Structure 1
Amino acid sequence: MKSSIVLGLGFGDEGKGVVTDWLCRQAQRPLVVRFSGGHQAGHTVVDGAGRSHVFSNFGAGTLAGAATFWSSYCTFHPVGVANEHRALVDLGLAPVLYVAGLAAVTTPYDLLYNRVLEANQRHGSCGLGFGATVARHAGPHKLHVMDLFDDFVLEQKLGSVAAYYRQLGVSFAEEVLEQQLEDFYRAVDYCRTAIHCTCGRAHFKNAADHYDSLIFEGSQGLLLDQEFGYFPHVTRAHVSSRNALEMIREYGLPEPQVFYVTRAYQTRHGNGPLTLEHLAPQLHPTPYETNVHNPWQGEQRRSLLDLNQLRYALSADAQYAAGLARQLVVTCLDQLDGPWWVSDDDRRTTLDTVSELAHRLGGHWQNCYGNYGQAGNLVAG
């Protein structure tokens, strides 16, 4: 059995789903482990048969037949899980989702509060309640996945969540809240039979008997990490290798290799700093882009790839992963219209290969890969 960690070097949307899918297809019995963020992730995969899906509540290896383990580092959104499970079944799949019982549950109260905050503050949130859930769970007003399986426990815990927001002086439109709660309860009923509630220690005790490859699929990007990103435009999560390595060491799993992923250009969806935004990359239109305008993040923003930002992201993750085997992956190379322009120490230059990028970034790289389109293999070089 081997372990891999997939991380984004930017602000998310780097292509982590493509890499996760590719790794799963190299294995016979893969398991995808989500170890950061939650349901606000959106990882697009297109398989060889032309099936396409944006993964938020299931691992991006699902089209490749991989089961998913949803760790307690992640938030769990019953409505999102139920909707995505149905969508995957409609694609002809039988998705398997193991969920840690101590994962924090996102409620309608969290979601609506998040949208109120984002409308006022514009920190770049997706408006899906992730940050609000994490903040609430830092105190006593908790709702765990394990609580969803008992009606009495659920009612008591959900009442505590409602009281928490009343104490904050927050009120919600009654009709909107009622509809959200109705959807929530319906989704909880669905999830009671659609997921497997477990714990990490039990699930990974004999992992080698069940899996030959563990793929730890990251969320967002290192420049959004709550330790290293540019506050307040950060996510409330450790999206570095930190959580994955804690799990690997706690459960005695194999030492991992780390796949660091970036697009051939910078991108950011939501407010916050983006270097070189005055230097737009020259790109072909692509039918694969799923990061479209929404009320909370606006339009996707793009600029030339900034090697200084990549070096900073790598140095941030090295605080946890120094000494591990590193792989570099560059996606969206098919979108480039003309030479591959980047910025290195504030000087514009062109690159010919991913290996040349790796050389400029410094350090030892075990392998370098390029990706051309959402579907297909990673190409060495």
Structure 2
Amino acid sequence: MNKTIVVLGTQWGDEGKGKIVDFLTENSDFVVRYQGGNNAGHTLIVNKKKIVLHQIPSGIMHKKVISVIGNGTVISPTSLVKEIKMLEANNICCKDRVYISPNASLILNYHISMDLAREKRLNEIVIGTTGKGIGPAYEDKISRIGIKIYDLANLNVLKLKIKRVLNYYNYQLVNFYKEKSIDYKVIFNELAQSASFILSMVRNVPEILYKAIKDKKSIIFEGAQGTLLDVDHGTYPYVTSSNSTVGGVCTGTGVGPKHLDYILGVSKVYMTRVGLGPFLTEVFDEIDDYFFLKGNESGSTTGRRRRTGWLDIVLLRKAIKINSLTALCLTKLDVLDELKEIKICIDYKFSSINSSIRKEDFIFSQNTLENITPIYETLPGWNESTAGITNFKFLPILAKKYINRIQELIGIPIDIISTGPSRDETIVIRHPFKI
């Protein structure tokens, strides 16, 4: 049953990937995070208890599974230590079960200060980041001035690196953003206290994963955020700072593409996004309130109310192509239970101003949205409870028709359907590990 499976989001994140990874991990030996930082929030409900993970892969909830954090991530040492302590307080052992790549980059306090200062300065053109320092940390990585996990092994060199980088940050914070400077001693002392603890988890991630594949072990690669937040393929500039699409698996772990056997995209049956940015199918009436209340649509990392809207098939098809999806998982089906009618965006209508643009050449960006309106197909609601159903045949007829219509429009199979937040509230049509 050995197989490598990628689980990633097809929307703007918050699709319910954490639950699906947790559900599939029962059949896995390793779960690997390959990008993003503690701006992600994967909420799990196990035995009626809510656990929110930000950096540790969701597979940690299963005792025999190894959780791996790859080089493509950015790690907040303070947040990581707190998360591990939280898990252990909930009787979830992390010792010898969390591996970290030495090449992963660190998020430090000056990244957070810069993130917040920029958002404050931008005013009307604010991006709407989580304020966790993710962007500045990735900038340092690309600029080759970042602090890596392996830097914790030599505190003397670490101190010099922090001093050098802080000169760069403090000059901007004080002279341009009019914020307070940061004392390098505070950063260094905090790192020095957690260095040995973090270094005890460091492993050669590419070698471990290569050996696991050779030994026919099963691996799940867990994505953070979603396709539409990818820095290259998302709704730029309202995106995250990493590649949340399937390419991030290879660059973020050192595992080559030929070893990816099955790629599962996760999509809500409607759409949400946190923060600013284009959202063509967004709703603002009582339907928005309905999605917010019924779907509990508050960000698990920021607590901000998520914007809501109807499912956009055009964007879903884009995610399918970019990620070479094998199949789709639909989540939150039960949220639609009380709606009289359900809309699906099946295409876009271009105004006469944009008539010269061929649909195949259309790029989804802020600059192109003014002359586009969504074309909807309306389906009847089923007005019956689907909550907790675990077999497709027991779904209401109209719910089956809704799912089948989506499958017809996207051209790939829907293998899994989530009917509630708990691990066992799941319909499996085809199990990824058993195909």
Q: TM-score range by the shorter chain?
A: 0.7 to 0.9
Aligned equivalent of 1:26: 27
Q: Give a deviation string over 1:349-374, Cα, whole Å, max 9, x none.
A: 22733343121112x32x42210221
Aligned equivalent of 1:347: 376
Aligned equivalent of 2:307: 301
Q: Post-superposition shift, 1:91?
A: 0.5
- Consecutive unaligned residues of structure 1, counting only runs of 5 or more, are none
Q: Post-superposition shift, 1:40?
A: 1.2
Contact 1:305 1:343 in 2 (8 A): yes
Q: Secondary structure at the match of 2:308?
A: strand
Contact 2:60 2:67 in 1 (8 A): yes
Greater radius of gyration (CA): 2
Q: Secondary structure at the match of 1:45?
A: strand
Match of 2:223 among 203, 212, 218: 218
Contact 1:108 1:184 in 2 (8 A): no
- Consecutive unaligned residues of structure 2, counting only runs of 5 or more, are 348-374, 380-397, 430-435
Aligned equivalent of 2:361: none
Q: Secondary structure at the match of 1:21?
A: helix
Match of 1:368 among 401, 412, 415: 415
Contact 1:81 1:191 in 2 (8 A): no
Letter in 2 for 1:278: V
- Structure 1's 132 and 113: CA in aligned 2 closer, same or farther, altered over 3 A? same
Paired with 1:97 and 1:42, the residues of 2 have a C-alpha distance of 18
Paired with 2:332 and 2:162, the residues of 1 have a C-alpha distance of 43
Paired with 2:331 and 2:221, the residues of 1 have a C-alpha distance of 19
Bigger helix share = 2
Aligned equivalent of 1:332: 332
Contact 1:16 1:261 in 2 (8 A): yes
Q: Post-superposition shift, 1:158?
A: 1.0
Listed as ranges, the matches of 1:100-119 within 5 Å are 100-119=101-120
Listed as ranges, the matches of 1:1-381 within 5 Å are 1-27=2-28, 30-47=29-46, 49-65=47-63, 66-95=65-94, 96-121=97-122, 122-168=126-172, 169=175, 172-173=179-180, 177=182, 182=186, 185-186=189-190, 189-190=193-194, 192-194=196-198, 195-208=200-213, 212-246=217-251, 250=255, 254-278=259-283, 280=287, 282-283=290-291, 285-286=293-294, 289-291=297-299, 294=302, 298-317=304-323, 321=324, 326-336=326-336, 337-338=338-339, 339-345=341-347, 346-350=375-379, 352-353=399-400, 354-362=403-411, 364-365=412-413, 367-377=414-424, 378-380=426-428
- Structure 1's 293 and 218: CA in aligned 2 closer, same or farther, altered over 3 A? closer
- Structure 1's 71 and 3: CA in aligned 2 closer, same or farther, altered over 3 A? same
Letter in 2 for 1:119: K
Paired with 2:296 and 2:422, the residues of 1 have a C-alpha distance of 9
Q: Secondary structure at the match of 2:128?
A: coil
Contact 1:205 1:251 in 2 (8 A): no
- Structure 1's 356 and 67: CA in aligned 2 closer, same or farther, altered over 3 A? same
Q: Post-superposition shift, 1:252?
A: 8.4
Paired with 1:284 and 1:236, the residues of 2 have a C-alpha distance of 27
Q: Post-superposition shift, 1:164?
A: 2.1
Identity across matched positions, percent: 23
- Structure 1's 85 and 201: CA in aligned 2 closer, same or farther, altered over 3 A? same
Q: Secondary structure at the match of 2:265?
A: strand
Q: Post-superposition shift, 1:78?
A: 0.2
- Structure 1's 261 and 216: CA in aligned 2 closer, same or farther, altered over 3 A? same
Contact 1:45 1:52 in 2 (8 A): yes
Q: Post-superposition shift, 1:72?
A: 1.0
- Structure 1's 253 and 78: CA in aligned 2 closer, same or farther, altered over 3 A? farther
Contact 1:288 1:374 in 2 (8 A): no
Paired with 2:272 and 2:16, the residues of 1 have a C-alpha distance of 11
Aligned equivalent of 2:389: none
Q: Post-superposition shift, 1:201?
A: 2.9
Letter in 2 for 1:55: L
Contact 2:52 2:300 in 1 (8 A): no
Paired with 1:91 and 1:161, the residues of 2 have a C-alpha distance of 37
Root-mean-square deviation (CA), in Å?
A: 2.7
Paired with 2:6 and 2:165, the residues of 1 have a C-alpha distance of 34
- Which protein, 1 or 2, shows the higher relative CO under an 8 Å CA cutoff with sep ≥ 6? 1
- Structure 1's 311 and 173: CA in aligned 2 closer, same or farther, altered over 3 A? same
Q: Secondary structure at the match of 1:18?
A: helix
Q: Secondary structure at the match of 2:262?
A: strand
Per the normalisation by structure 2, the TM-score is 0.76
Q: Bigger CA drift: 94-103 or 10-19?
A: 94-103
- Structure 1's 232 and 287: CA in aligned 2 closer, same or farther, altered over 3 A? closer
Q: Post-superposition shift, 1:113?
A: 0.3
Paired with 2:244 and 2:253, the residues of 1 have a C-alpha distance of 15
Contact 1:82 1:191 in 2 (8 A): no
Q: Bigger CA drift: 144-153 or 197-206?
A: 197-206
Contact 1:201 1:251 in 2 (8 A): no
- Structure 1's 247 and 111: CA in aligned 2 closer, same or farther, altered over 3 A? closer
Q: Give a deviation string over 1:49-101, Cα, whole Å, max 9, x none.
A: 22321111100111123322111111011011011011001110112321111
Q: Post-superposition shift, 1:167?
A: 4.7
- Structure 1's 15 and 82: CA in aligned 2 closer, same or farther, altered over 3 A? same
Letter in 2 for 1:229: G
Letter in 1 for 2:377: R
Q: Post-superposition shift, 1:191?
A: 5.1
Contact 1:43 1:55 in 2 (8 A): yes
Give the paired residue count: 365
Per the normalisation by structure 1, the TM-score is 0.87
